[in-house]
Each structure stands twice: as structure tokens, then as C-alpha cells.
Amino acid sequence: MVTIRREARLEAPTEQVWEIASPPSGWADWLSLHASWPKAPPTEVAVGTTFIEKVVLLNIPMPMTWRITEFAAPSAFAMSGQSVMGVGLDIRFELTPAEGATDVVVTAGLSGALVMGGLKNVVHQYADTHLELSLAKLTSLLS
């Protein structure tokens, strides 16, 4: 498994970060792995919610079937996904209040034959770059 962790301090209250980051309908605005919704994104999310999102990994678009595994407003949400290409992706977002700002920790784990072996370092760099880009986009939405 390839695991990446990124941290950032966002200059906005935790509730404001949650309102932008947690609804799937807003992911196109900041989550850089998001490509499109084959069907409308869910309007209500809870542990156990499942949906399909098209993501781009290593510049390859692929549908990902997600299941929400944690949803604790306004502090954390996590999801576990599986693609038809055998790629597994687990993502967890953790938000912690920090004196009027919010500390964000994003952890992603990728698994499967496509992301292991000789491509492991490439996958790690790609995912790390996209987590950094996602946090930058999220920051700009809060400005």
C-alpha cells in the first residue's frame, strides 16, 4: 500500500472548512482527483453511504465506487473506494480547531496491482502532489 499524509493550517473556522470540504457536490471545486459524477452525487452523507465518482489516477480516468466509513461533523470524514481496475483508495480528512483556524490532516492509502511494484514511487509522488493541490484549492475557496 502507498500511504500519503498531508497537513495544513487553514485560516478559517472548522465549521466553515467542513461546509466546503464534506459535501460531495463541492468536490469538483477543490478535490483534484475528482473528474466527474456519472450520476448525481449524494445530497446526504452518512456512514455506509455509497456512490460512484469518476477520479483520475496517474492521468487515467476511472470510476471509483466509494463507501463512507466515517462521518463525524465537523471533525472527520473518511471513505474507502474500489475501482474496476482493481485500485483501492482510502481517504481520511481530519479537521481540528486551532485558535480561529483549522488544522487539516489528509491521509490517503492506495492499493492494488496498478499502484504497486515499479510504479509505487510514481504513484506516491502523483498522490502527494494531488493532495497538496487539493489543500491549496480548498484554501483558496476559504479566502
Residue 59: the pLDDT is 85
- Nearest CA among 4, 47, 6 for reference residue 136: 6
Quote the cell numbers at residue 26: 463541492
- pLDDT above 90: residue 124: no
Residue-range definition of the domain harbouring residue 6: 2-142
Residue 136: the pLDDT is 94
Q: Calculate mean pLDDT across residues 126-143.
A: 91
Number of CB atoms found within 10 A of residue 138's CB = 23
pLDDT tens column, 7-48: 999 999 999 999 999 999 999 999 999 999 999 999 999 999
Quote the cell numbers at residue 115: 499502484
Number of domains in the chain: 1
pTM, whole model, 2 decimals? 0.90
pLDDT tens column, 68-117: 999 999 999 999 999 988 889 999 999 999 999 999 999 999 888 877 77
Please report the sign of the dihedral spanned by the C-alpha atoms of residue 58, residue 30, residue 16, residue 71: negative
- pLDDT above 80: residue 125: yes
Give the amino acid at 110. L
User: CATH no. for residue 37?
Assistant: 3.30.530.20
Residue 138: the pLDDT is 94
Quote the cell numbers at residue 130: 494531488
